[in-house]
Amino acid sequence: MRSIWLYQSRDAVNILNSPNVGCFLSHYFKPRSSQRCSENIGLRIVSNQSFRRINASNLIRRRHISPAVDHLSPGQSDLRVKVFIISDLHTDYPENMAWIQGLSTVAYKRDVLIVAGDVAEKFENFILTMTALKERFMYVFFVPGNHDVWCRRKHEAYGDSVQKLSALLETCNALGVATEPKMINGVGIIPLFSWYHESFDKEIDITGFKIPSLKMACKDFHACKWPSTLSTSSLSLSRYFNELNYKHFDTIQEIKETSSQVITFSHFLPRQELCPEKRMLFYPNLPKVIGSDFLEVWVRKIHGLNGNQSACHVFGHTHFGWDCVLDGIRYIQAPLAYPRERKRRMNGGEDWLPFCIYDSENGGLYNELLPSYWSDYYRTQKRDPRNIELAPWVARFYKRIKSH
């Protein structure tokens, strides 16, 4: 089986261009052209205080999984199911749209694609992207992300983000893109709608540094427009999105009872452990705008309190490649992310995307975890949110801010 070798540099820790955080950092610090903010010097974390230079033995190896071919091989069942995943397409960037258009129009014709949000801000780009994906995959599933419901363009005829959400869902329905739970040849795919809330963050805050407010750092507070009854300062917005899932409660129950494999997915995070500790982040308050406690409740309702061997939840939003098992459930993120992130080889580029997580004729859910910088790190290093000493690269960053 062919493999893809990926170089993992310290740019993997860079969250300067997080989808949740605006460009406020560039106001304080503009690196020279020859210098990245994270200094691409090829370091790999060994412990909380020690580092060592990576060598050939530290390169990440990812399995290359071919899509199902258009024509069946002898003895191959026409009921075969292959499920691919991807998130954070951001096709308002021409490079990302070109990547979508460059996907094979033949290879995935019998496959399933899960798109875990943040397709495009511009409605016309959303339509172009989802049309292209539906032409390439037999089944496409989608949940909206924060960028999808931004309303900051004057020519768009949406009074608020709720109206735009409705338009997105109607468009998906017209294109044949699924936004509700379905069962495909015994495999249950369950989209879970969500929105983040600040109380999702349960860990100790970083103090003693000039950290910008959420409204200054997060573009959502300005780009999204909500009715007066919904607010980001309370649980009302998260509850609104959570209630959308109850429309399909009966279908979810049926899928739980009859499917041999269930895959849930959302844009936002269901658990804070799926994001690096605050001291590792250039914007330590990031966890306040990434997840929803309602999501984990759904995930446990569907997969069981203790999970099971085939339990899997797909998410997006933070642009960190991630694959881990927590309390019996596998959590995985496979983001396309921004072009500048891929150029820095954050997450290893794009050659491994979309990522196949399930093949009914090859053992079902792939047991091999996707090599990813931060989830690999936490497999060997214990998470300690009580430790609020900034990681060296973050400390240097805020020292430079202070000097400006």
- pLDDT tens-digit readout, 149-193: 999 877 777 889 999 999 999 999 999 999 999 999 999 999 999
Q: Look at residue 265 and give its three-state secondary structure.
A: strand
Average pLDDT over residues 64-91: 70
The answer to which of 16-25, 117-126, 201-210 has the lowest mean pLDDT is 16-25
* 18-51 pLDDT tens trace: 444 443 343 333 333 333 333 222 223 333 333 3
CA distance 155 to 145: 21
12, 36, 333, 361 from 15: Cα distances, Å? 8, 12, 15, 38
Task: Quote the CA–CA distance of 263 and 115 in Å, as a whole number.
Answer: 12
pLDDT at 273: 98
Q: What is the mean pLDDT of the chain?
A: 84
> pLDDT tens for residues 257-301?
999 899 999 999 999 999 999 999 999 999 999 999 999 999 999
In order of 211, 338, 369, the CA distances from 67 in angstroms are: 45, 24, 18
Task: State whether residue 27 is helix, strand or coil.
Answer: helix
Residue 23, pLDDT score:
38
Query: Is residue 126 a contact partner of residue 142, using CB atoms and an 8 Å limit?
Result: no
Global pTM reads: 0.85
Say which residues have a Cβ less than 8 Å from residue 64's Cβ, sequence separation at least 6: 1, 2, 3, 4, 352
Nearest to 364 by CA among 264, 263, 266: 263
Residue-wise pLDDT tens digits, 354-369: 999 999 999 999 999 9
pLDDT over 70 at 349, yes or no? yes
Look at residue 109 and tell me whether its pLDDT is greater than 90.
yes
DSSP state letter for 86: E
Distances (CA, A) of 365 to 187, 262, 339: 11, 10, 29
